Amino acid sequence: MPMQKTRLLCISGSYKDAAINAEIIYNIQALLSEKDLERVVDSTSKNTQIQDSYGANDYLEKLLGCAERRFSKEKIGELRKKVKKT
């Protein structure tokens, strides 16, 4: 059930919800797997409420920065490129 950890962010329906949900994801980052992180990035690329929320983007950048310590630099680079395309 790893999807449940990231589901709130994936279905964010407003800029405010996206920011709040991104903060929650950031706060539970130690529980996220590489697949969870991919889901977060994929959700960002598909949901304009996340893309256009300044609050959400701040937390997502922090999340990717912290994830650099846990996952390969190649993987984080690939995810950063996806986020920047949005």
Residue 2 pLDDT more than 70? no
- The pLDDT value given to residue 3: 53
Q: What's the rounded Cα separation, in Å, for the pair 40 and 37?
A: 5
- The pLDDT value given to residue 1: 42
Residues in contact with 32: Cβ distance below 8 Å, sequence separation at least 6, in sequence order: 5, 6, 25, 40, 67
Q: What is the pLDDT of residues 27-76, one digit of tens each?
A: 999 898 888 888 888 888 888 888 888 889 899 889 988 888 888 888 88
Higher pLDDT, 56 or 1: 56
- The pLDDT value given to residue 37: 87
pTM of the model: 0.81
